[in-house]
Every structure is written in structure tokens, then in C-alpha cells.
């Protein structure tokens, strides 16, 4: 029965071994599955191996079937993890080589005579804990005696090899079975870790892309909201981006290469240039910023600022002229009156005094106009809204300013400010006298819910380009005052402001050379 006992003991031993193998594999699966970093998986794999089999060297390589290259992913020798990237990649050996044979056949390989094998065809490296590679056998004999080589497979295809080497003793078939089982676990864990890394990278890429998109969207929103026009012009002069303000300023029709040349390129350059925008000359103020593949221009329309500037200098010229002329007369007349070395006849004295009064009035008028225009600008002028007998106000104004004018009055009452209405009329009548010809006609009539009053003269009239501009502040058709009678360029501006504040509108119709009709309407 001894044999029976022996058999039972044998079975027991086998069962125990099976059980501990199963336990080892189970533990390995759990431990390897815990980490999501390939390098850590390899480390754990090596630690688990250490409990199961003896080894002095361990190499995990991957095989790339598309170019038959073999790369080292993990290397450990004589108690040290080595830098796998220092191992040169190998080409699959089509005839010999232990590793290549495993890849070619897909079957594991066990040898207890390494020295005998490396003497054959193939490239062999030996390493020790120093991390230094030695080509075997050219650079000395290998220390390894026995080796286990297990293919790593994915869906039936060899994607790598695990090599285990020991300097002492031999490997058995049981060792091979055990290591094969662990390699399967390790390969699954590495694959899982790689997938995880890839997903994490994809997520990071996605997040980065989203951040860039959000930033770009934000920039576009900001650019759409800013008042300044912004365009991004590529090297070839084409517009890559423009905001709504730029579109409004006609950016699409501008010759950006020409503009770039006029501004001159260095980054941060500023320039204000007259630019033809759809047949209209605009003064645009540019800031140009060079980027790697083009130029960003921020620009705005400063035409009005420039017009205002030139109007202001016109105004200063006009007002100083308007003040100096009467002042000179007043001064001259007063000096003459004060002289005691000449006797003045009473009529002469009277004449000089009248001149002083007249010129002083003119001075007061200019000052008043300037002050009133200023008050209008500041919104300090209050306008009454009362029922006004329009025809009566017209008759009174004509009586004061231009008794010779012809009247055709057929208006009802309007809602207006009596004094302001008179002021407007006096101004239009004064202009008709100053700039008009011989004959002036004043009409009034009802037009729907408005009352329309018009002053028509037979003077030289206004060129079409001037008809809108005469209502601008300081505008004078002849700013150099070569031919025009005195004036500040404020009269019609004041008229327009007053009429609009009374809820009406003002305009002019004129054919140059055939007089002008200045008209305004007030609500009834």
C-alpha cells in the first residue's frame, strides 16, 4: 500500500501546488490590476515573480509587427531597474535568436544552456546592475546560464517577449507554466494601463482644445463688442477676421496691402491716414500689430474729430476776426473823440458815437452767439412749449430785420417757444440779407401736423456739398473770409439746435446761382 500512499502524497502535493499557483495568479491579477501606470505594472510583475521563481535578469520587450522592430520596455538586472530607453531597438532575426524565435513561433522557450545558444546567429546583449550593455559573446561571455522566454500575445498575435535569466541553476517546465500564467496577467494589466493613459491623454487633448475654443470664442465676443474696428490681415493681404465695427467701416473693400505699406510695418505702429472708403474720404486712425502670420489692425474713424479740429481753428480765425474788426472801429472812434487838439463838428461827433454803438452791438452779437452755442452744447438751454401765433411772430421778425421782404403767411398756431422762434427767424432773415440777393420772400403754411416757414432769397445759393454742412458748428462756406460778410458760422447751427429742441426740423433747398430757401417745420 506504500505505492498507494506515495501516489496519494503525490496527488496531494500536486493539488497543493495547483492551489498555490491559483492563489499566486489570483493575487497577481489583483495586484497588477491595481495600478494604471505601465512602469508600475512591470515593477509589480517583477516583485510577484520573485516569490515564484529565481532570476537575475528580467527583460520585457515589445514587438512591432509593422516594421519588425523589438524594443525594450522594462529591464532589470542584478537587483537594479535599468533605463529601458538605453537599449537599442533590434530588428527581428529571421533565422536565429532566442527572442526572435519566440516571436516567430509564438511559443515559449526554455534553455538551460544560454552560452551554447548565444554562440549561434543573432545579436545578444548582456547587462548587469551597472546598466552597461555588453554585446555577447564579442565583448565577453554571458553570465546567464538558464533563460525563460515567454511570448506576450494580444488577440493571438505576438506583441512582445518576456525574458527571464538566471546565472545559477536551471529552469523547469513548471517554472515555465507559472511564468507564462503571470505574463498573461501582466500583459493584460499593461494593456489596461496603456488604454487608460491613452484615454487620459485624449481627455487632456479634448480639454485643451475646449479651453482654446472657449478662449477664442471669448476673444471673438470681446472683439464683436468693442467699438474699435479690428481686422486680421494675412501676409497676402486677405482678411482672415474682422469684427462688425470693421465691416461697418468698409474693411472688406479696403486695399490692406496698400494700407500696410503706408503705415510701415514695425509692431505697434500708429498712423492716421486719409482712406478712400467706397468713394468717401475718411480719416482712419490705425494701430498695427504684427503677428507671426499677418498683421492685426485696430482702427477707428476720426474724420469727425479732424473736421471738428479744422472747424475749431476756422472758428478761432473767424471769431478773432469778428471781434477785431468792430473793436478796431470802436477804438479808433473813441480815440478820435478823446483828442482835444482837434475840434469836431457836432455831426461828426454824432457819427462817431453812432459807429461806436453799432460796432459794440456787433461785438455783443458775436459774444452772444458763442455763449449760446456753448449753452446749447451743454444742454443748458430751456425751450418752452406753448401755443404760438406763428404768422404774428414772422411779421414782427420781418419788421425788425428786413421790412422790405415779401410775405405770404397762411399758418395756424404752432407749439413752440415764442422767443426762440423769433431768434431763428431773425437769423434766417439776417442771412438772406447778408448772403442773398435783392428779393426775399417769407412764407408760412400748414403741412399735415406741422407748420412750415420758409425764407427764400435770390442770392448765389449753396453748392450741394455745402447744403448739409451749413448747419454744422463753425461752418462757413468761405472760411478764409475773402468774399463773405462777417459771421461766426454759428447762426445756422444755433437755428438747427433750437428748432430740433422745439420738436421740429430744418433744411435748405438750393440750386447754386438761383437762390436758397431755408425752411423749418414746427409741430402744430
Chain residues binding ligand ADP by CB under 6 A are 431-432, 435-436, 457, 459, 461-462, 470, 475-478, 484, 487-493, 516
Neighbours of 313 (CB within 10 A): 12
Q: 271 vs 477, which CB is nearer to ligand ADP?
A: 477
Q: 57 vs 436, which CB is nearer to ligand ADP?
A: 436
Q: Are 367 and 394 in contact (CB under 8 A)?
A: no
Query: DSSP string of 119-179?
Result: TSSS-EEEE-TT--EEEETTTS-----EEEEEEEEETTEEEEEEEEEESSS---HHHHHHH
**Integer Rg of the chain from CA:** 51
Q: 100 vs 427, which CB is nearer to ligand ADP?
A: 427
Q: 108 vs 436, which CB is nearer to ligand ADP?
A: 436
Question: 494: which residues sit within 8 A by CB, 6+ positions away?
Answer: 369, 372, 373, 376, 423, 427
How is residue 74 written as a grid cell?
A: 522594462
Q: 122 vs 486, which CB is nearer to ligand ADP?
A: 486
What does the CA dihedral 25, 31, 36, 39 come to, rounded to 10 degrees? -80
In whole angstroms, the minimum distance from the beta carbon of 366 to ligand ADP comes to: 9
Measured distance CA(306)–CA(282) in Å, rounded: 10
Measured distance CA(233)–CA(296) in Å, rounded: 6
Look at residues 342, 318, 262, 285 and name the one whose alpha carbon lies nearest to residue 473. Answer: 318
Measured distance CA(514)–CA(516) in Å, rounded: 7
Q: 181 vs 504, which CB is nearer to ligand ADP?
A: 504
Q: CA dist 404 to 395, 398, 429, 441, Å?
A: 11, 8, 11, 9
In whole angstroms, the minimum distance from the beta carbon of 247 to ligand ADP comes to: 35
Q: 20 vs 374, which CB is nearer to ligand ADP?
A: 374
In whole angstroms, the minimum distance from the beta carbon of 521 to ligand ADP comes to: 18
In whole angstroms, the minimum distance from the beta carbon of 454 to ligand ADP comes to: 12
Q: Is 234 helix (H, G, I), strand (E, B) or coil?
A: strand
In whole angstroms, the minimum distance from the beta carbon of 494 to ligand ADP comes to: 8
Q: Phi and psi (nearest 5°) for 515?
A: 80, 180
Measured distance CA(112)–CA(508) in Å, rounded: 115
In whole angstroms, the minimum distance from the beta carbon of 346 to ligand ADP comes to: 36
Q: 43 vs 466, which CB is nearer to ligand ADP?
A: 466
How is residue 131 written as a grid cell?
A: 546598466
In whole angstroms, the minimum distance from the beta carbon of 404 to ligand ADP comes to: 15
Look at residues 478, 468, 475 and name the one whose alpha carbon lies nearest to residue 507. Answer: 468
Q: 142 vs 488, which CB is nearer to ligand ADP?
A: 488
Q: Are 453 and 411 in contact (CB under 8 A)?
A: yes
Give burial (CB, 10 Å; 0-12/13-18/19+) of 248: exposed
Measured distance CA(56)–CA(180) in Å, rounded: 18
In whole angstroms, the minimum distance from the beta carbon of 368 to ligand ADP comes to: 12
Q: 129 vs 486, which CB is nearer to ligand ADP?
A: 486
Q: Phi and psi (nearest 5°) for 136?
A: -110, 140
In whole angstroms, the minimum distance from the beta carbon of 490 to ligand ADP comes to: 6
Peptide bond into 251 cis (omega under 30): no
In whole angstroms, the minimum distance from the beta carbon of 349 to ligand ADP comes to: 32
In whole angstroms, the minimum distance from the beta carbon of 442 to ligand ADP comes to: 12
Q: 333 vs 492, which CB is nearer to ligand ADP?
A: 492
Q: Is 334 helix (H, G, I), strand (E, B) or coil?
A: helix
In whole angstroms, the minimum distance from the beta carbon of 409 to ligand ADP comes to: 20
In whole angstroms, the minimum distance from the beta carbon of 435 to ligand ADP comes to: 4
Q: 452 vs 476, which CB is nearer to ligand ADP?
A: 476
First to last CA, the chain: 136
Q: 163 vs 456, which CB is nearer to ligand ADP?
A: 456
Measured distance CA(384)–CA(363) in Å, rounded: 28
Q: What is the DSSP letter of 30?
A: H
Amino acid at each position: 500500500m506504500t505505492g498507494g500512499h506515495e501516489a496519494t502524497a503525490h496527488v496531494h502535493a500536486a493539488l497543493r501546488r495547483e492551489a498555490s499557483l491559483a492563489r499566486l495568479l489570483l493575487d497577481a491579477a489583483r495586484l497588477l490590476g491595481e495600478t494604471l501606470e505601465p512602469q508600475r505594472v512591470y515593477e509589480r510583475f517583477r516583485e510577484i515573480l520573485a516569490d515564484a521563481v529565481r532570476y537575475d535578469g528580467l527583460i520585457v520587450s515589445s514587438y512591432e509587427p509593422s516594421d519588425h522592430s523589438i524594443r525594450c520596455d522594462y529591464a532589470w538586472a542584478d537587483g537594479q531597474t535599468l533605463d529601458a530607453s538605453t537599449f537599442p531597438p533590434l530588428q527581428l532575426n529571421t533565422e536565429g535568436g532566442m527572442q526572435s524565435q519566440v516571436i516567430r513561433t509564438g511559443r515559449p522557450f526554455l534553455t538551460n544552456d544560454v552560452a551554447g545558444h548565444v554562440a549561434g546567429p543573432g545579436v545578444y546583449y548582456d547587462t548587469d546592475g551597472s546598466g552597461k550593455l555588453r554585446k555577447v559573446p564579442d565583448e565577453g561571455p554571458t553570465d546567464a546560464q538558464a533563460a525563460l522566454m515567454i511570448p506576450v500575445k494580444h488577440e493571438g498575435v505576438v506583441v512582445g517577449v518576456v525574458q527571464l535569466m538566471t546565472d545559477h541553476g536551471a529552469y523547469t517546465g513548471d517554472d515555465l507554466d507559472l511564468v507564462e500564467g503571470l505574463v498573461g496577467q501582466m500583459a493584460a494589466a499593461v494593456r489596461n494601463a496603456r488604454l487608460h493613459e491613452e484615454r487620459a491623454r485624449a481627455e487632456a487633448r479634448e480639454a485643451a482644445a475646449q479651453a482654446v475654443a472657449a478662449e477664442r470664442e471669448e476673444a471673438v465676443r470681446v472683439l464683436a463688442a468693442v467699438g474699435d474696428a479690428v481686422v486680421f490681415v494675412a501676409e497676402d493681404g486677405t482678411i482672415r477676421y474682422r469684427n462688425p465695427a470693421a465691416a461697418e467701416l468698409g474693411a472688406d473693400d479696403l486695399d490692406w496691402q496698400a494700407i500696410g505699406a503706408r503705415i510701415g510695418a514695425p509692431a505697434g505702429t500708429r498712423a492716421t491716414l486719409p482712406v478712400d472708403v467706397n468713394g468717401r474720404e475718411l480719416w482712419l486712425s490705425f494701430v498695427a500689430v504684427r503677428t507671426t502670420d499677418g498683421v492685426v489692425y485696430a482702427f477707428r474713424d476720426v474724420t469727425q474729430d479732424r473736421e471738428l479740429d479744422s472747424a475749431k481753428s476756422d472758428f478761432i480765425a473767424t471769431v478773432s476776426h469778428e471781434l477785431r474788426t468792430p473793436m478796431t472801429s470802436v477804438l479808433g472812434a473813441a480815440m478820435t473823440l478823446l483828442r482835444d487838439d482837434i475840434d469836431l463838428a457836432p455831426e461828426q461827433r454824432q457819427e462817431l458815437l453812432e459807429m461806436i454803438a453799432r460796432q459794440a452791438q456787433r461785438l455783443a452779437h458775436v459774444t452772444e452767439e458763442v455763449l449760446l452755442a456753448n449753452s446749447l452744447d451743454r444742454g443748458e438751454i430751456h425751450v418752452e412749449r406753448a401755443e404760438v401765433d406763428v404768422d404774428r411772430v414772422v411779421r414782427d421778425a420781418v419788421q425788425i430785420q428786413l421790412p422790405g421782404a415779401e410775405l405770404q403767411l397762411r399758418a395756424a398756431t404752432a407749439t413752440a417757444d415764442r422767443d426762440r422762434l423769433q431768434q431763428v427767424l431773425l437769423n434766417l432773415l439776417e442771412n438772406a440779407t447778408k448772403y442773398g440777393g435783392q428779393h426775399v420772400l417769407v412764407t408760412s403754411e400748414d403741412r399735415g401736423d406741422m407748420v412750415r416757414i420758409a425764407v427764400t432769397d435770390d442770392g448765389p445759393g449753396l453748392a450741394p456739398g455745402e447744403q448739409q454742412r451749413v448747419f454744422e458748428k463753425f461752418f462757413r462756406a468761405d472760411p478764409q473770409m475773402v468774399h463773405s460778410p462777417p459771421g461766426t458760422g454759428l447762426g445756422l447751427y444755433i437755428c438747427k439746435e433750437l428748432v430740433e429742441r422745439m420738436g421740429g426740423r430744418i433744411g435748405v433747398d438750393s440750386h447754386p446761382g438761383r437762390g436758397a430757401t431755408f425752411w423749418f417745420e414746427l409741430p402744430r
